[in-house]
Amino acid sequence: MQRVVLKVPHHGMEDGMNEGRLAFAEPKIAVIPNSRAQALHLYGIYDELCSGRRTQWYVTGDVSGGLSGRLQIIKG
């Protein structure tokens, strides 16, 4: 079930961002709604889960408070 964007549930914790969910959705982009401070210890896990699938992942808290950001969508 190919999806372009997956909003990762449960703030990207282990029960929200896992192999089974990524295998099912096959997203090109995974958006993780969490602060950088709370998700930082999981960045290695996100890299490991997403790298073999060519899924790009983003944590919403990586953008400074009060600012907005846009994801760079790469077609291909």
Residue 71's pLDDT is 60
The model carries a pTM of 0.77
Please spell the DSSP secondary structure of 20-57, one letter per residue. Answer: HHHHHH-EEEEEEEEEHHHHGGGHHHHHHHHHTTT-EE
pLDDT tens-digit map of 24-75: 999 999 999 988 888 889 999 999 999 888 899 999 887 666 556 666 655 4
- Written as six digits, the tokens of 2 are 């190919």
